[in-house]
Structure 1
Amino acid sequence: MSSNTIKLSLFLCLSMCLGIGILRFSYTALLPGTREAFAWTTNFASLLGSANLLGYLIGAFTAMRLPQDRSMAHYIQMAAIAGVFSLLCCAFSGFSEIWYISWRVISGISGGLLMILSPSVVAQCCDLQDRLKINFIGFSGIGLGVLVATLFLPYLDQMSIQTAWLILCGFALFICLCLSLLLQQFKPYLSTQAATNLPKNSLNSVFYSLLTVYACSAFAYIPHSLFWVDYLSHQLELSLFWINFNWILYGLGSALGALTAYALARKFGNFSALKILYSLYIVAILLATAKQSSLLTFGSSFFTGLLNPAVVFLTSYTILQLYGLAYKKLWSIATLCFAAVQLIGGLSFSALQYLGLSYYQQFVLAACVLLLGALQLFWCTHPARLKSHESTRSLAAQEEGSK
């Protein structure tokens, strides 16, 4: 790989690690210990999770409105700095509830900006033949960030929760400094003028199909992202050791997600790989209902961890391949839909739980929603239908050549 390819890969990997892995998922991993140490109620802890999702939605909307030019580098730097401060300010107890809510919103905003702007910088700076490789390495950062957060779990009984937050803050600060250094080298490659947006009439059912199933995956992912620890501890009555083991499996799966999607895309092509991933995702969610088998529970933890970053990476890359310079706007729309559905879905699942819907029923509901999304993806990306879309022919030919 060339020096520029390595730098772009590292930049995107660190951005995803900070924006998604640390700023979003670290809270889920540290939640049980933080709730106990800071004397938070269950309702307030859940509210903080929703605050982060709201921030992610705001960040995605803001990123969509920002120009696709050299100013993206400045917004990435500001987002990274704000994310570091959000971790630092959540490390100390004794503040008012609005303090923690505000910083979790800011953390979500930072994650949303990094999720959209960093891949957009890479799209402008990389050569066409290096796109898949750079995006695969870069989006692996999501899993690496989740893995970093989960590695704390076995040692939380040996350190204070404040120390755990400060260590994460230290990681985030290091990543922030690295991003600033790398961005200085990319600025000459970034356009000084905003890129032209894709005309509306050039979009087709393929994009809307990708958008629909991606939004469905946001809804289906909620029970594992919000309630998995509670389900393991209260419903399955697992010990702390086995709860931590499940989360470590989740982190390991996340670290392998982009690699799995990359391998499948190289072998079968983007659309076929997405169909395989979403089909496995449905099965992985349903595995959670098999309470009689610990092995199936382990499988659900590992594969849901693996499949979320896998579909994020491959959806992003497919949009980039299909629509080129319009990637930033369209990826912003996809991320905005994902964030909105996740926020609404989180509130809906909380309401369903309050109304007495069991965890088993919630997992089945999540799997059914994802099944509907996957079925329409199968229909809209059937080879016979793909041939009718002029904008997808070049990608179809490229995929055919990769087999």
Structure 2
Amino acid sequence: MSSNNLKLSIFLCLSMCLGIGILRFSYTALLPGTREAFAWTAGFASILGSANLLGYLMGAFTAMRLPQDKSMALYIQMAAIAGMFSLMCCAFSDFPKVWYIFWRVISGISGGLLMILSPSVVAQCCDVQDRFKINFIGFSGIGLGVLLATLFLPYLDQIAIQTAWLILCSFALIICICLSLLLQQFKPHLSDQSASTPVKVTLNSLFYSLLIVYACSAFAYIPHSLFWIDYLSHELKLSLFWINLNWILYGLGSALGAFSAYILARKYGNFTTLKILYSLYILAIFIAVFTSSPLLTFASSFFTGMLNPAVVFLTSYTILQLYGLAYKKLWSIATLCFASVQLLGGLSFSSLQHFGVTYHQQFLLAALVLLLGTLQLAWHTRIHRYNSSKQID
């Protein structure tokens, strides 16, 4: 791998680590301890989760409207710094509730901007034949961020929750510095690209099919991404040790997500692999209903952790392969759809909890929605007789 490709891989990996792994999933990991330390009710904790989803939607919408030129570097830096401050400002108790809501929205906005702008920078700065490997390494950063959020979980009964938030803030600060240094290397190439004429593309039903199943996955992963640790703690009454083990398995799965998609896509092609991954995703959500064996809970933790970054990576790369220079706009649309359904899903599941719908029933609903999305993807790829093996360079 050339020096430029290595820098691009590290840049994308750090962006995904911060934008999704830390700014998004660290809240799930720290939620039980923060609720107890800050005396938050379950309802307010759920509102904060929805605030983050709203911010992600706002960030995706903003990113779609930004120019595809060297200014992207500045917005990435601003997003990373704002995300770092959001972690620091959530570390302190006894502030008004609106304080935490505001900073969770900022955290979401930062994540949305990083999710769209960073892969767009990579798409403009690397050769076509290098995109698959760079994106695979880069999107592995989602899992790396989740793992970072798990490092101190075994010690949460020994350290203050404030310290845990500040540790994450320190990780974010280091990432901000690294991103700023790396972006200086890419600005000249982005300047060259700024004069490029926008490419008009014709979208077919395959793109919309991808969009639908991707949006369904946004709805389906809400129970695990927002409430999984809370479910293990308050519903299953697991001890801190077993909660930590489940979350560590979730983090390990996340770290392997992009790699698993990479291996399968090289062998079976993009669309066949997506159908395999989504089918496994349905099963991973569904088995959370069964609590008779801890192995099923472990499996649900590991595979839901693995499959979310796997489908995000492969969906992003498939759009890049199909539509080239139109990638930023189309990936923005996909992320906007994901974020919109994610927000609606978060509000829906919070409402279901309010009306007494159990976690098990929520898992069933999530699996059913993803099943419908996967079936329509299988139908459209069958109609088009799409040879997905041509997708991989």
SS at match of 1:199: coil
Check whether the contact 2:32–2:233 (CA below 8 A) recurs between aligned residues: no
Q: CA deviation at 1:93?
A: 1.3
- Structure 1 residue runs of 5 or longer lacking an equivalent are 388-392
Corresponding residue for 2:380?
Answer: 380
Does residue 199 of structure 1 match 2:192?
no
Q: What does residue 72 of structure 2 align with?
A: 72
Secondary structure at the residue paired with 1:288? helix
1:74: how far off?
0.6
CA contact (8 A) 2:16 2:142 kept: yes
Name the residue aligned to 1:105.
105
Contact between 1:20 and 1:142, CA under 8 Å: does it hold in 2?
yes
Change (3 A) 1:212 1:197: farther
Specify the alignment match of 2:323 in structure 1: 323
The structural deviation recorded for 1:397 is: 2.9
TM norm structure 1 = 0.95
Residues 398 and 315 (structure 1), Cα distance of their counterparts in 2 relative to 1, 3 Å cut: closer
Q: Measure, in 1, the Cα distance between the counterparts of 2:234 and 2:41.
A: 16
What is the one-letter code of the residue matched to 2:225? S
Shift in Å at residue 301 of structure 1? Answer: 0.4
Structure 1 SS opposite 2:93: coil
Residues 2 and 62 (structure 1 numbering): CA distance in 2 closer, same or farther, change over 3 Å?
same
* SS of alignment partner, residue 92 of structure 1: coil
Match of 1:36 in 2: 36
User: Matched residues in 2 for 1:197 and 1:230: separation?
Assistant: 46
Whether contact under 8 Å (1:87, 1:169) holds in the other structure is yes
2-side partners of 1:211 and 1:4: how far apart? Answer: 31
Q: Percent identity?
A: 80
The residue type equivalent to 1:181 in the other structure is L
Partners in 2 of 1:290 and 1:164 — Cα distance?
32
Distance 2:100 2:372 in 1: 37
Question: Matched residues in 1 for 2:148 and 2:81: separation?
Answer: 19
How far did 1:233 drift? 2.3
Letter in 1 for 2:185: Q
Partner in structure 1 of residue 181 of structure 2: 181
Are 1:21 and 1:141, in contact at CA under 8 Å, matched by a contact in 2?
Answer: yes
Q: Deviations over 1:154-213 (max 9, x none)?
A: 01111111111111111100000000000000011114526544436x000010000000
Equivalent residues of 1:69, 1:195 under 8 A apart:
no
Structure 1 residues 52-100: Cα deviation after superposition (integer angstroms, max 9, x where no partner): 1100000000000001111101100110111111111111112111111
> What SS is found at the alignment partner of 2:344?
helix
Q: Distance in 1 between matches of 2:241 and 2:99?
A: 32
Q: Is the 8 A contact 2:18 2:111 kept in 1?
A: yes
Structure 2 Cα separation of the partners of residues 344 and 136 of structure 1: 29
Q: Which runs of 5+ in 2 are unaligned?
A: none
Asked whether the 8 Å contact 1:88–1:166 carries over to 2, the reply is: yes
Paired letter, 2:194? Q
Contact 2:29/2:150 (CA < 8 Å) preserved in 1? yes
| 1:385 aligned partner, one-letter code | H
Q: Deviations over 1:238-282 (max 9, x none)?
A: 222111111111011001000000000111111111010000000
1:236 corresponding residue in structure 2? 236
Q: What amino acid sits opposite 1:40 in the alignment?
A: W
* 2-structure distance, mates of 1:94, 1:55: 23
| Residue 358 (structure 1) aligns with | 358
Q: Distance in 2 between matches of 1:248 and 1:258?
A: 17
Q: Secondary structure at the match of 1:381?
A: helix
Q: Which residue matches 1:390? A: none
**1:193 is matched by which residue type in structure 2?**
S
Q: Distance in 1 between matches of 2:228 and 2:196?
A: 42
CA deviations over 1:362-386 (Å, ceiling 9, x no partner) = 111111100000001101112x514
Structure 1 residues 372 and 165: alpha-carbon distance in aligned structure 2, compared to 1, 3 A threshold = same
Alignment of 1:25-64 (within 5 A): 25-64=25-64
Does residue 276 of structure 2 align to residue 276 of structure 1?
Answer: yes
Contact between 2:23 and 2:83, CA under 8 Å: does it hold in 1?
yes
User: Which amino acid is 1:9 matched to?
Assistant: S
CA contact (8 A) 1:68 1:194 kept: no
Partners of 2:35 and 2:234 lie apart in 1 by 16
Q: Is the 8 A contact 2:28 2:228 kept in 1?
A: no
CA RMSD of aligned residues (A): 1.4
Q: Normalising by the residue count of structure 2, what TM-score does the alignment of the two structures yield?
A: 0.97
